[in-house]
Structure 1
Amino acid sequence: MVVTLGGLVTALAVTFAVVAVGSTVPILPTGAAVSATAVLAAHYSPLAVPMVVAAGGLGAYIGDAVTFAICRAGGEALTRRLRLLRQPWRIAETVRDRLQRRPVSALLVSRLVPGGRIPVLLTAAIVGLSWRTFIVSNVAACALWAATYSAIGLLSRNVFPQPWQGVVAAIIIVLAAGQVAGWVERRRQARQDRISAGAKS
C-alpha cells in the first residue's frame, strides 16, 4: 500500500471532519481517526505528521467551541436548578476551580477520559467560565490531545510495516485504551461515592 499526496490530503480532510463532528456529537471515534491518519502520514513522510496534529487539533477546537456555545446557551436554566441542589452545585464549583487554576490540564484530561469532555464543558458553561479563558486554554488542550493520539499512531507505524496494519493496530489500541480509562474512571467514581456515603452515615 503506497500513500500518495492525494490520499494524504483526503485523510486529513476526513480526520478534520470526523473530529469536528465527533467533538460536537460524541458518536465518532475521534482519537482513533487521528491515530489512523498519523500512520498514513508517517508512511508518506515523517514531516507530514504535524499536519495530522493540526487537522485533529483544529477539528477538536471547533467542535469544542460549538459544544461550549450550546452549553452556554442553555446554561442559565441549569444554573438556577443546580443552585437549588447543593451537592451538584458544589461539584460544579470544584470543576470551576480546577478550570480557573489549571484550565489547559482540566480541558485536556476531559478529552482523554471517555465521556469526560461534555460534562466538563457543560459545567464550565454553567459556572460562567469566560469565552476568553476557554478560547486561549483550549488551543493548547486540543493540540496536546491531537499530539497524544498521533504519537499512538506513530507507535503503531513503527511496529507494523504496512500502513493498513498500523491503521488497524492504532484503532484497536485507542479503543482498548478508552475502555480501560473508562473502567478506571468508573472505579474511581464508585470509590468516591462509597466514601461520601460513609461520611454522611
Structure 2
Amino acid sequence: MPVVPTGAAVSAAAALAFHRHSLAVVAVVLTGAVAAYLGDAVTYLACRLGGEQLARRLRWIRGGQRLDGLVARLRARAVPVLLVSRLLPGGRIPVLLTAALIGVDGRRFALANAPACVLWSGVYAAIGMLGGSIFPEPWQGVLVAVALVVVITQVPDLVRRRSRV
C-alpha cells in the first residue's frame, strides 16, 4: 500500500507540470492512465488466477462480504461500472475482483477499463492543475493537490467507520 495515494501522485505531477508547461499535463494524464491500466491489469490477472481464495487471503474480501450486487451490474454495463469504480474511493478492487471471478472476458475488460483509467487520471490531473493555478509557487500547488486528494479519498472511509460505531 503506497504512503501517498496514487491519485495524489497524479495530482502533484500535474500541479508541477502546469507550472513548467501546460502541455506537459497531457503527458501526466497519459502516464497516469497507462500506470493505472497496468495496475488494474495485474490486479485483474491475479484475481483471475487466484480467485476468491486469493482475494480473501489478501483481505480484499472480508468475512461474509458478498459481491452479488456487482455481478449483475458488471454483466449489463461493464464500462460505466468500471468508470464509477475508478472514481469512488475503495471501489476499484471489488469491481476488478468481481469482474475476474465472474469470468469477464479479458478482451472486454481491457476495452472497458481503458476509458476508466483515462477518466481517473484526467480527474486527478485536473485537481492538480487547479492547485497549481491558484498558487504562484509549484510546491504550494503540489501540497494543496495532495491534501485535497487525501481528504477526498479518506473522508468517505472515516464517515463509514464512524457510522458503524
Does 1 or 2 have the higher relative contact order (CA < 8 Å, sep 6+)?
Answer: 2
Range 167-176 or range 118-127, more displaced: 118-127
1:70-115 CA distance string (max 9 Å, x none): 000012768xxxxxxxx86xx5342122123322222232222222
Aligned residues: 155
Taking the TM superposition and a 5 Å limit, the aligned residue runs for 1:1-201 are: 26-28=1-3, 29-75=5-51, 91-183=66-158, 186=160
Q: Distance in 2 between matches of 1:95 and 1:127?
A: 10
Q: Any gaps of 5 or more consecutive residues in structure 2?
A: 55-63
User: What's the C-alpha RMSD, in Å, of the aligned pairs?
Assistant: 2.4
Contact 1:113/1:181 (CA < 8 Å) preserved in 2? no
Contact 1:113/1:182 (CA < 8 Å) preserved in 2? no
1:150-189 CA distance string (max 9 Å, x none): 00001101111100000000000000111223245x27x9
Q: Any gaps of 5 or more consecutive residues in structure 1?
A: 1-25, 79-86, 191-201
Amino acid at match of 2:45: A
Max Rg structure: 1
Using structure 1 for the length normalisation, give the TM-score.
Answer: 0.69
Amino acid at match of 1:116: G
Amino acid at match of 1:106: V
Q: Distance in 2 between matches of 1:161 and 1:98?
A: 45
Q: Distance in 2 between matches of 1:182 and 1:98?
A: 23
Using structure 2 for the length normalisation, give the TM-score.
Answer: 0.83
Query: Is the helix fraction higher in 1 or 2?
Result: 1
Question: What is the identity percentage for the equivalent residue pairs of Structure 1 and Structure 2?
Answer: 52
Contact 2:18/2:133 (CA < 8 Å) preserved in 1? no
Contact 1:42/1:49 (CA < 8 Å) preserved in 2? yes
Q: Distance in 1 between matches of 2:154 and 2:104?
A: 30
